[in-house]
A and B are shown apart, each in its own frame.
Chain A
Amino acid sequence: MNDIVKTKGLTKSYRGVSVVNNVDMRVKEGRIYGFLGPNGAGKTTTLKMLLSLVRPTKGDIEIMGQPMSETTRINILRDIGSLIESPSYYGHLTGAENLRILAAVLDVPEINIEKVLQIVRLDKQHGKKVSAYSLGMKQRLGLAGAMLAFPKLLILDEPTNGLDPAGIQEMRELIKSFPTQYGMTVIVSSHLLSEIDRMAEDVGVIANGRMMYQGSLEGLHGIDKTKSLEEIFIDLTGREHSL
């Protein structure tokens, strides 16, 4: 299986302090990659570097076989859908109007708007402004925006943040369906171990900016069979967190 994302020595420092340190990330095509780490571990910064929202201090990024550079950036990014930190939207417009703007920017046919609204189950919300949406609905709209061009790679940063249990379950089921139904590769980050455990096939564990483990989820379970996944995670990250 090909690696759709490869990073080598990816580093980001602010005023000499590394928030991401020599990260070598490998994401296999057609899989769900769970990017796990405590708050402030460097997950979002890493994902932002993959999306060129933050410039790496050092290191290389290769996505879909192409090295990320100033000239290749936009072509690569057009094959990536993303939802970083919080959903992006124009509150004074309806969900469909929001997606119409994105569709125009991405040169995507308008028929995709109806499709993605159905997938995230927002197709009945015609005429409702996004500012009146619940957080879960906004998150689903963000996901619809990320999926609009049916990209090869979907990068989702803490997509279940702030959702109620029903919303979390709904989001999880949606994400799990993407590789099989649409042939997408998904990178999903979370600080919630249970979420990644139920969603991902491969895992990367990051702590203090360093990749502590990368491999299959089964492999993570198998590090120490006498310990729970939570204990393994704490051992790896060297910190105690309520998970």
Chain B
Amino acid sequence: MIKLLKCEFMKTRRRYVLLSALAVTAVMLCWIYPDNYKEDFLRMAWMGSLYELPLVNSIFMPLLSVIVASRLCDIEHKGNMLRQLAVSEDRGRIYDAKLIYGLMIMTFCVLISWTMTIAFGYHADFGGAVPIKLYILYLLFTLTPTAAVYIFQHTASLCFRNQAVAFFSGVIGTFFGVCSMFLPQLSTLRSLFIWSCYGVLDFVGLFGWSKENRYKFAHFEVMGIDWKSFAILVLICIALYIAGREFFKRKEL
């Protein structure tokens, strides 16, 4: 597998995949930059960020997945390389190597945004100590939906030569994922729809917010952590991986 991962690295030379991913992450970081926060919000921004970030992630992470998966897989389609690879190596391993490489890039971007959020907190003085346990939980609840979305995008980008299929399915998924954040009454449906899981796993609630006073008398609180939805998401990840790998193995090239 190391050999195949090395090949993936060699293939992406002069393709600037990581740079494109970091550019999207930079745009995301601009969005959450603390200068955008009002003073009332800043005093409780450690928790406030945990409340806001799932929405930002549900917009940016699926789009980042579309870009990374498409750029990694398109190089195989453009020069008909899948056929060549499929007669040289086991197809399942080709699928795995590409998936792991893409997930490494995604994880790197998530870690950058996570670290930068904490750095912003110290820089802008979010008040008090960073609730590190909650931030680690947030990291887990960001990486897992990202893995699910990425596995989906990876399969779509690898199996369909026309990248528009992967692009539009990703964009449509993102749209409904964001919309679902405003429909908490559809909880079961939301936890089955991978794009909405960023919101489903959001464990911080806002209380006391009003239109007139905004954050003046508001506070954030940890609500129940939805381990059931997390477990469902992990199962969906495994199912997507098995189905995607099998589909790629059976696909005629």
- Chain A: residues with CB nearer than 8 A to chain B? 48, 51-55, 74, 77-78, 80, 82, 84-93, 97, 100-102, 104-107, 130, 145
- Chain B: residues with CB nearer than 8 A to chain A? 3-4, 6-7, 10-11, 13-15, 75, 78-81, 83-90, 250, 252-253
> What would 10 A/B residue contacts be, using CB atoms closer than 8 Å?
A52-B86, A52-B87, A54-B253, A74-B90, A80-B87, A90-B75, A91-B78, A97-B13, A105-B88, A106-B88
When the two chains form the complex, which single residue of B7, B14, B83, B253 contacts A101, counting CB atoms closer than 8 Å?
Answer: B7
User: Which residues from B are CB-within-8-Å of A92?
Assistant: 13-15, 75
Are the C-beta atoms of A104 and B3 separated by less than 8 Å?
yes
Per DSSP, chain A at the interface is loop
Are the C-beta atoms of A130 and B10 separated by less than 8 Å?
no
When the two chains form the complex, which single residue of A74, A77, A130 contacts B79, counting CB atoms closer than 8 Å?
Answer: A130
Specify the chain A residue showing the minimal Cβ separation from B249. Answer: A70
Are the C-beta atoms of A105 and B7 separated by less than 8 Å?
yes
Are the C-beta atoms of A89 and B81 separated by less than 8 Å?
yes
Docked CA distance A102–B85 (Å): 8
Are the C-beta atoms of A100 and B81 separated by less than 8 Å?
no
Docked CA distance A102–B154 (Å): 22
Are the C-beta atoms of A55 and B252 separated by less than 8 Å?
yes
User: Which residues from A are CB-within-8-Å of B85?
Assistant: 105
For the complex formed, measure the closest distance between the CB of B97 and the CB atoms of chain A, giving whole angstroms: 10
Docked CA distance A168–B86 (Å): 27
When the two chains form the complex, which single residue of B3, B7, B80 contacts A87, counting CB atoms closer than 8 Å?
Answer: B80
User: Which residues from B are CB-within-8-Å of A88?
Assistant: 79-81, 83-84
Docked CA distance A130–B86 (Å): 21
User: Which residues from B are CB-within-8-Å of A89?
Assistant: 79-81
**Minimum-distance CB pairs A-B, first 7:** A88-B84, A89-B79, A88-B80, A53-B253, A54-B252, A88-B81, A105-B88
Specify the chain A residue showing the minimal Cβ separation from B8. Answer: A101
User: Which residues from A are CB-within-8-Å of B83?
Assistant: 53, 84-85, 88
User: Which residues from A are CB-within-8-Å of B81?
Assistant: 88-90
Are the C-beta atoms of A104 and B6 separated by less than 8 Å?
yes
For the complex formed, measure the closest distance between the CB of A95 and the CB atoms of chain B, giving whole angstroms: 12
User: Which residues from B are CB-within-8-Å of A145?
Assistant: 84
Specify the chain B residue showing the minimal Cβ separation from A80. Answer: B87
Are the C-beta atoms of B10 and A100 separated by less than 8 Å?
yes
For the complex formed, measure the closest distance between the CB of B33 and the CB atoms of chain A, giving whole angstroms: 34
User: Which residues from B are CB-within-8-Å of A52?
Assistant: 86-87
For the complex formed, measure the closest distance between the CB of A203 and the CB atoms of chain B, giving whole angstroms: 24
User: Which residues from A are CB-within-8-Å of B6?
Assistant: 104
Are the C-beta atoms of A97 and B10 separated by less than 8 Å?
yes
Specify the chain B residue showing the minimal Cβ separation from A146. Answer: B84
Docked CA distance A86–B86 (Å): 15
User: Which residues from A are CB-within-8-Å of B89?
Assistant: 74, 105
Docked CA distance A82–B90 (Å): 16
